[in-house]
């Protein structure tokens, strides 16, 4: 898988993205539950960054996209996170990224409005099953229990290995011509925040933004300067701005992921 194999090496980074200020709230959780919180936040931060980097790749290299770009970069983020070999940590992170979509959908009572149907993203349950299919397709035997627990239909499951192969082949074909070191700087910045100081601190400590920036520098011949930024946005989200050439990870998303998994654990 060429380019994608090297990018997947990011998973060697020991990223711990538990919010330090949440220690008091974490009291009463078992060690297993605290690890689940860490994995959920880390997995979703990684997936979100890869997703937005996908938008940057499409934009900067003028890559053709058939269908929704949001679906395409979801699949790229999954490819970047799915390990070629059994890896409990990598598996926990990508499964956490899939779980986000189902849990977010469930948290709001599963109510769908016209805005959901008209949006540029697929519906959260669709994004969930798309990721589960790619994960399962990477190792049908190893992820058989995951597919069963997720309720992945047998007819869809049967095609998942082919679906993964097709997605990987497509992205590799698009990205291979752009392999190489970046031709312009890829920088990292952290915006000031008081309300989300803990999230900002843990992102800085983990150096996940710096590690991804370095991997992008070494993997893709970006023709223009790129900024990977963490900032307070006023919304729980992340963005690629093609005019400013900036990937922004919102501190609100980091805190939102932590609260989502904590709420889920408490509700069990």
Q: How far apart are CA 208 and CA 41, in angstroms?
A: 12
**Polymer length in residues for the chain:** 268
Q: Count of alpha carbons within 13 Å of 130, Cβ hemisphere only?
A: 20
Contact 75, 262 (CB under 8 A): no
Contact 211, 250 (CB under 8 A): no
Interval 150-171: pLDDT, tens: 999 999 999 999 999 999 999 9
Interval 54-81: pLDDT, tens: 999 999 999 999 889 999 999 999 999 9
pLDDT at residue 28, rounded to an integer: 78
> What is the percent of the chain with per-residue pLDDT over 90, rounded to a whole number?
70
Q: How far apart are CA 165 and CA 55, in angstroms?
A: 21
pTM of the model: 0.89
pLDDT at residue 151, rounded to an integer: 95
Interval 111-149: pLDDT, tens: 766 566 555 667 889 999 999 999 999 999 999 999 999
* Alpha helices, DSSP H, located in 177-246: 197-206, 208-219
Interval 162-198: pLDDT, tens: 999 999 999 999 999 999 999 999 999 999 999 999 8
Q: How far apart are CA 250 and CA 239, in angstroms?
A: 8
- CB 196: neighbour CB atoms within 10 A? 22
pLDDT at residue 55, rounded to an integer: 97
Q: Is the pLDDT of residue 8 over 50?
A: no
For the chain, the average pLDDT equals 87
């Amino acid at each position: 898988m060429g380019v994608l194999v090297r990018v997947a090496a990011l998973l060697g980074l020991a990223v711990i993205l538990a919010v330090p200020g949440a220690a008091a709230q974490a009291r009463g959780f078992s060690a297993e539950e605290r690890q689940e919180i860490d994995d959920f936040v880390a997995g979703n931060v990684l997936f979100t960054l890869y997703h937005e980097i996908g938008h940057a790749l499409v934009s900067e290299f003028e890559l053709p996209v058939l269908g929704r770009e949001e679906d395409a970069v979801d699949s790229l983020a999954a490819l970047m996170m799915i390990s070629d070999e059994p890896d409990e940590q990598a598996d926990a992170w990508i499964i956490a990224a899939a779980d986000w979509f189902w849990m977010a959908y469930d948290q709001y009572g599963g109510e769908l409005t016209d805005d959901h149907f008209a949006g540029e993203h697929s519906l959260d349950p669709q994004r969930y099953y798309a990721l589960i299919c790619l994960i399962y397709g990477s190792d049908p035997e190893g992820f058989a229990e995951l597919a069963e627990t997720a309720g992945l239909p047998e007819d869809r499951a049967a095609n998942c290995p082919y679906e993964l192969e097709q997605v990987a082949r497509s992205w590799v074909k698009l990205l291979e011509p752009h392999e190489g070191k970046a031709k312009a700087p890829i920088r990292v910045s952290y915006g000031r925040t008081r309300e989300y100081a803990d999230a900002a601190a843990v992102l800085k400590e983990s150096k996940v933004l710096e590690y991804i920036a370095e991997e992008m520098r070494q993997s893709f011949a970006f023709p223009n300067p790129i900024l990977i930024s963490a900032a307070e946005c006023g919304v729980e989200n992340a963005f690629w701005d093609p005019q400013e050439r900036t990937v922004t990870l919102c501190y609100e998303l980091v805190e939102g992921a932590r609260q989502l998994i904590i709420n889920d654990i408490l509700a069990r």
